[in-house]
A and B are shown apart, each in its own frame.
Chain A
Amino acid sequence: MFPPGLFTLQFMQNAWIAGTAIAIIGGIVGFFVVLRGATFVAHAVPRASFAGAAGAAVVGQSSVLGLGTFAVLSALGIASISRERRHGVATALILAAALGLGDLFLTIGHVYAPAVFALLFGQIVGISTHDVRAVLIVSVITVVLFAAAFRPLLLQSVSPHVAEAHGFWTRGLEILFLLLVSGAAAAMVPVVGALLAFSLMVGPAAAGSILGKSPLQALAWSVAFGVLSLWLSVWLAYLTFWPIGFYVSGFCLLFYFAARLIKR
């Protein structure tokens, strides 16, 4: 069941810590992603941030820094060209542009192929203690931002006109939401990879929103599902040597179905 080293090896301890942090972040940011129906944004920002990691490799900077920069830039890019919560076209254009840049960086930077592979599909056992610190810092910033903006964001997600009548700058809240997504993306990509990061921002929150009767309940369920998915995935990945992303995305889907079944 629990092979030696699962909790004692340094790289496994890093995996547990960073993994738990991103599961919590995915659960809380995902709450708004699902509430606002912004799953495409949650899909695009992590992928766009992948280009930043490739760029960081070209100039010899840390990949988390590159990820964060591109995550924020893509979020601001989406905000600047989208209109009134209709993010579709803006998101698609920004995503394509970022992937194009990523391709360019990989070509001119001669980035070592396994490093690219790790960023795309995640390499939870490859996380250094330095990366863990970066992931934790980004996570804490995201949680604080989330907690501070919770009520206005909830109001604006449910009835934007009432938020506006209360004197809120709707676009500002929109940008705040996109920044939360980019914070989550920057923390997640090194751990679970650009291609699968968004499953943690959609699956647990969708299941939580089905089971939760109130916003706080939905949040609690969402975080619980996220953390449980990740813990099971880390354990099974260590046991079987199969990739973490496979397990995370599988459990996210499984919990969503389970929630649907419980609610009939």
Chain B
Amino acid sequence: MSDENKSSSVPSAGEPVATRSAAPMWIIVTTLVLLFIGGIYFDRHSGWFNPKVYAPYTSAENLEGFQPQSGAAAALARGKKTYEAVCGICHGPDGLGKPGQAPPLAGSEWVVAKGFNRLAHIPLMGLAGNIKVAGKDWSMNMAAMGAALPDDDLAAVLTYIRSAWGNQASAVEGDDIKKIRSGMGGGSQPMTHDMLMAMPE
């Protein structure tokens, strides 16, 4: 019996055995590509698990951009923008001035003075002749760069330079500039050191 069975069955190679085989290369590549795309998406949209960031905001910077700006913050942002467009070319974005071009504003006694009357006259009228700024003598001519700026913009610029780069002085309002402008008279001569010293601070 057993002999018959043996002879009638196909000689087998034994039990089938599962062997380890390498994962196909395309699966590995696809997985890596998907992980990479997922990583980029996560970086752009997740806000990095910041508890304050919810969709539709994508990051803390994005959310910050939607914060309503009021009062002081808005004036400073406006002043910075105008300063960099108009004044920063010579006085430098860091307010340190440039040798041979413009004196520094950071730490300048003219900028951080208690009152801003003299300071405001410089962009409104221009400046000529010798002037001492932060212990150094300067002899530059400045055109009336601020004469064409709206009152609010000039006030924002003055507020900005009086509070940036370590300067600490009071803010300037648009109405203050309006008053100073109306009190200037019709003269178009640039200010000099003596003229500035002759007017109230």
Bound together: no
A interface vs B, CB < 8 Å?
Answer: none
